[in-house]
Amino acid sequence: MAQVNMLDAKTHLSRLVDAIERGEETEVIIARNGKPAARLVPIETKPDVSKRLGLLAGKYPDMSLEEFNEHDAEIEALFKGKDDEGW
C-alpha cells in the first residue's frame, strides 16, 4: 500500500492507475496535508458467466452417440428441402 500526497497524485495519476491495473499496488492512499483522504483501488469485475462450461450439467438425461445421431436423416432432408415424396 503506497501513500502519496495530493500534488503527486495529480501529477502522476496515470502511473498510479497503471500500477493498480497491473497489480503492482493493491491500493494507493491519497493524503492531504499528511492525512489520508482517499483510496485508489481496482474495480472488482464480475466473471463472465456467459461462457462457463458445464452450466447445464445434470439437467438433461445422458444420451449415447447412436441416440444423438438417430434423427440425422430427417434433419438432412429438412435442410435439403426434400419431403416424403423425395423431390
- Given a cut of 70, is residue 86 above it in pLDDT? no
Could you give the CA distance from residue 73 to residue 25 in angstroms, rounded to a whole number?
A: 60
Burial call 59-81: b when 16+ CB within 10 Å, e when fewer: eeeeeeeeeeeeeeeeeeeeeee
**Distance between CA atoms of 80 and 74, rounded to whole angstroms?**
10
Q: Note the pLDDT tens digit of each residue in 17-72.
A: 999 999 999 999 999 999 999 999 999 877 766 777 777 888 888 889 999 999 99
Strand 2-5 and strand 28-32: the pairing is parallel
pLDDT in tens, 7-18: 999 999 999 999
Q: Which sequence spans correspond to the domains of the chain?
A: 2-40
Full-model pTM: 0.50
The CATH architecture one would assign to domain 2-40 is: 3-Layer(aba) Sandwich (3.40)
